[in-house]
Amino acid sequence: MTSQGTTVALAINPTAGRGKGGVAGARAFEQLTSAGFGVRRLAGRNGADLAAQLAEVLADGANGANGANGANGAQSLVVVGGDGMVHLGVNAVAGTTTPLGIVACGTGNDIARGLGLPVDDAASAVTLITTHLRRDGPDCDDLSHRATARGRTIDAVRCTGPGQERHEWFAGVLGAGFDAIVNERANRWSRPRGHLRYDLAILRELPVFRPREYHMVLDGQEWTTGAMLVVVGNGTSYGGGMRICPDARLDDGLLDVLVVSPMSRVAFVRLYPRVYSGRHVDHPLVEVRRARRVDLACDGGIVAYGDGERMAPLPLTLETVPGALRVLTGADST
């Protein structure tokens, strides 16, 4: 084991932020090793391959499997990239005691911002992580330091489809309406990249979009409604700063369920800019309810996206799990 008593799994998306991920990942590796930690740097052919590697490394770490130069396993996870990498990390460690560090350098970074973490500043992000990990090591006798090292414990959302034994997690926001349909369209295109592809997908989808009928059960209360947009938020924002659920909290044990009722396309376009300030919730056709469990179904064939990542077709059961995720951040609550 290392002098700090912790080996870190370092998962990097080198293409994040149009190439910033590779530079940030190299910086993270250098700082972590200079601080005395063993580092298992992981790279996968794709997300599924990387997820499989993470599962093996973290399982070995939990079982105490050690090697000559550090460990075959790891006791902590640091992800380098955008919300997609955070989503990967959440699915690797949610429901466990393994802490998650985030070096945010993607195009959205909504989860990192919601946690008050540095964005596009790898040095500061890794300094924060190493400080926490050093204080959390077995050689630290200062109990107050070890409490600080635990960072912030937040909720995560467990998603299960009908008849499924396995589940998936998200930490921020799940979209299951117009936004999800736009994502499906945009993901079929290889170009352009970044936000421009999403904006073009909006322009292509809007003229042909039709509201769907949704069937929901919120903590046992049924709710059937037509809607253009249905969002379930544990965090406040998605899409690179759209404050879609402005009053959501990461640690209150509740999900914010936002519904935009059918309106004209012109009204919908006018509502769109208000999402960045959160003022869209004042519109009379926007409603927000809260629940711990949401059963969400739709008549229109929607594939849900969580943390910006493609998850599964509706119906889904979404359950908030309080304290399911331990994040290495300076804030302990808030």
Provide the CATH topology of domain 158-322. Answer: Tumour Suppressor Smad4 (2.60.200)
Same fold, 7-150 and 158-322: no
Cα separation of the two ends of the chain: 34
7-150, CATH topology level: Rossmann fold (3.40.50)
Distance of CA 12 to the CA centre of its chain: 15
- Whether the pTM exceeds 0.75: the reply is yes
User: How would you classify the pairing of strands 303-306 and 173-175?
Assistant: antiparallel
- CB of 73 closer than 8 Å to CB of 2: no
Question: Chunked in runs of 10, what are the mean pLDDT values of the chain (334 residues)?
Answer: 69 84 92 94 84 89 55 86 95 94 93 94 94 64 39 94 86 96 84 74 89 97 97 95 96 97 95 96 98 95 94 96 90 42
Over residues 76-109, the pLDDT tens digits come to 999 999 999 999 999 999 999 999 999 999 888 9
Helix intervals (H) in 156-292: 178-187, 195-205, 265-271
Domain boundaries, the chain: 7-150, 158-322
